A and B are shown apart, each in its own frame.
Chain A
Amino acid sequence: MLRFVAIRVGRAALTIVLVVTFAFVVLRLSGDPALIIMSPDAPAEAIAAFRHAYGLDLPIWQQYLHYFGAVAQGDMGQSMRDGRSALTVVAERIPATLALTVTALLLKLCIGIPSGIFAALHRNGWIDRAVMALATAGFTVPSFVLGLVLVLVFSVQLRWLPSGGQESWSSVVLPVITLGAGGAAILARFTRSAMLEVLGQPYIRAASAKGVPWHTVVRRHALPNAAIPTVTIVGFMVGSLIAGAVVVESVFSWPGVGRLLVIAVSNRDLAVVQTILLLVASTMVCSNLVVDLLYGVLDPRLRVVTK
């Protein structure tokens, strides 16, 4: 078990190193920030000074080492726009984003998983058909379309809820629904098929043959097995808590990380873009790690480490 954990943690760390490297390479290759930030007809000395200040005049491998060392210490550089620490600029936005994405995640879990289980247990019944029809709709409609439709109906027509901003709790409602609908649909379909797969396994029939009452068969024998594949998709959703709201934040002018990313990219604010990128990558890697470890907890077959 210890080996199992060590291997997963090592793999996660390596992934982070690769992501940092990748971020460095891609962003350095994509153009000279000095020329973009300063106007192109700025005096040559000013450009040189700017380059010097940001270490852009060093050989690329030194820049990489510096960069890596800085990142390792949590120093992501300064926003080239206002000179504040990029980490601070990004961190300020995180609570707003999490307010949306965590609430939406809860919505997905609370709606998606139970309805998937319920549909599987009543396979081909009208409830199953209704759940699946809704789920298909929920996952076919792109979130910006759903967002705009919701705004049109509930803000413009009915005037029940605000169409954007962050003034009151009610401004959370539409973005959260927009954000959660697709995920709930995916989770419902996924949970349903995981449950159907498990319910068809011989050990389910064998458990019934032992005399275990059906609701206990479902709870004790089916759910723990169906949880194993479902954890993957939930892990993916947790991994996108930071980055998953770019579109919805734009539609609802929500001052979160997603909108900051859009602005930073269009401003070529390297430090901020990199910080967001690394943050997103680390969330993904961490949630993958948690999923991997959870697999080990849920599925004893995976605890064995094959050499």
Chain B
Amino acid sequence: MGLTVVPSASPLIRISGLSVAFNGTPALLGIDLTVGAGETLGLVGESGCGKSVTWLAVLGLLPNSATVGGSATLDGRELVGAPASVLERVRGGRVAMIFQDPASALNPVHRIGRQVSEAVTLHRGLSGGAATAEALRLLDEVGIPDARNRMTAYPHEMSGGQNQRVMIATALAGRPELLIADEPTTALDVTIQAQILDLLRRLQREHGMALVLISHDLGVVAEMCERVCVMYAGRIVEEAQAGALFAGPRHPYTTGLMGALPPLTGPRLRLTAIPGRVPEPWAMPPGCAFAPRCPKRIEACDVSVPNLRGEDRRVACIRAAA
């Protein structure tokens, strides 16, 4: 036997065939996805398509009512079904996650300094004064003004943008290799949104961590990400380098999303302009889930679910030129 050379490009996270059902109702129908070290991946799709559930499933954060199938590996180690002790070290350690509504993602009865230092204590083995000092440094790093005094503030005494900065500081505490930002700016004002995105970009550069940016705002993803996955009704329907995707979307759903994108100068709107509605999870069509809304639909679309085809650029549509 010769030496096996581990390819340096082996992904940090590899998700394959990941499926989730809540009390028997499917929500994810087989997701294949990789995230490389230091990479920025965008995940877009309408609300309810399974963007959050994908990453909650990877980190084992779904409630007991969820049945998770398939696989998700971190550096080759399986996370789906892994024991709690393994997952606890990964969460907030190698993989951190921040959420949509920062005000409700922080514990209302704990001071923010304590919430940050809790993560410091868990993942860095610091305690007492050292943990507090590190928490203060993190709050400084994410740009909380007058961080020393803000350590004793409660979340309700801070603005939404500041709370999101606190969440980011907490996420950085474990020096993660991957940060999953689940719609980090959806609940914030437009000007604050830009500041938070700038902050994420800066931190990603400085820490060299990978970033998964979940958003239903294509504009945000276009600005931030190298590679984009488009999700629809529990599946990935298109995946491409950001430039290529925006230059020429191949899946009719992606085209529809872009058509729904307002002009760059106008206000950003939610993506709702595609006619028709997402099928209910218990009434999925036998073929392509987008077919009922698709302008390019033909009979063959209703026969079976199209596979995600292609190498570098993947699309799940029989009408698309591969």
**Interface residues of A, Cβ cutoff 8 Å to B:** 201-203, 205-214, 220-221, 224-225, 228, 298-301
State the Cβ distance, B103 to closest chain A Cβ, in Å. Answer: 9
Dominant SS at the A interface?
helix
Chain A residues lying within 8 Å of B91, measured Cβ to Cβ, are: 208-211
Ranked 6 nearest A-B pairs via Cβ: A211-B92, A210-B92, A206-B105, A211-B91, A300-B154, A202-B104
Interface size of B by Cβ–Cβ distance < 8 Å? 31
Chain B residues lying within 8 Å of A214, measured Cβ to Cβ, are: 84
C-alpha gap A225/B84 in the complex (Å): 24
Q: Is the CB of A202 within 8 A of B105?
A: yes
Q: Is the CB of B61 within 8 A of A208?
A: yes
C-alpha gap A214/B85 in the complex (Å): 10
C-alpha gap A290/B89 in the complex (Å): 41
**Interface residues of B, Cβ cutoff 8 Å to A:** 56, 59, 61, 84, 88-93, 96-97, 99, 101, 104-110, 118-119, 122-123, 154, 156, 167, 170, 173-174
C-alpha gap A201/B92 in the complex (Å): 19
State the Cβ distance, A122 to closest chain B Cβ, in Å. Answer: 10
Q: Is the CB of A211 within 8 A of B105?
A: no
Q: How many A-B residue pairs have CB under 8 A?
A: 71
CB closest residue in chain A, given B167: A206
Say which residue of B61, B89, B119, B174 sits within 8 Å of A205 (CB atoms): B61
CB closest residue in chain B, given A199: B63
Q: Is the CB of A211 within 8 A of B123?
A: yes
Q: Is the CB of B89 within 8 A of A299?
A: no
List 6 interface pairs A-B (beta carbons < 8 Å), by A numbering. A203-B107, A205-B56, A209-B96, A210-B92, A210-B119, A210-B122
Q: Is the CB of A301 within 8 A of B108?
A: yes
Chain B residues lying within 8 Å of A205, measured Cβ to Cβ, are: 56, 61, 99, 105
* Most interface-central of A210, A220, A228, A298 (chain B CB within 10 A): A210
Q: Is the CB of A221 within 8 A of B156?
A: no
Q: Known contacts A202-B101, A300-B154; is A210 also within 8 Å of B118 by CB?
A: yes
